[in-house]
Amino acid sequence: MASSERTFIAIKPDGVQRGLVGDIIKRFEQKGFHLVALKFMQASEDLLKEHYIDLKDCPFYTGLVKYMHSGPVVAMVWEGLNVVKTGRVMLGETNPANSRPGTIRGDFCIQIGRNIIHGSDSVESANKEIGLWFHPEELVTYKSCAQDWIYE
């Protein structure tokens, strides 16, 4: 598929605990994006520290790492045309109070500290995050039978 890209999406412990995994996956599937990898896991503190390394100087960094380590997460890779940008729109604003209804955070969240989902903010960060959370052999390459009904 021409101009296809991949993004990293993670359902945080609050999204898992609230039983929102299926609803979130369904939104990406219904949009037409292609699931390439999925893991249900307890992320290590080292992995989380590396994932959030860009935020290490922020006052909330330690609490964020601790929170993300507090329960299981669902790590995913999705593929499709403009999936990084479109995925971020689907997530809504980082602060759910600023998120529109119809977005994941707008529909399911109230506070920024429990915003249920992470999504890569650029193709470069997506590639970095995918490499951090998945080994190359864990990424599945296949053509969906729906692809010709989604893309011209």
| Residue 34 appears among annotated catalytic residues | no
66 is in an annotated binding site: no
6 is in an annotated binding site: no
18 is in an annotated binding site: no
How far is it, in rounded angstroms, from Cα 41 to Cα 92? 24
How far is it, in rounded angstroms, from Cα 76 to Cα 22? 13
Question: 118 φ, ψ to 5°?
Answer: -120, 140
114 is in an annotated binding site: no
How far is it, in rounded angstroms, from Cα 22 to Cα 119? 17
Query: Which residue in 51, 69, 118, 135 is the catalytic one?
Result: 118
Binding residues for ATP: 12, 60, 88, 94, 105, 115
Residues with a known catalytic role: 118
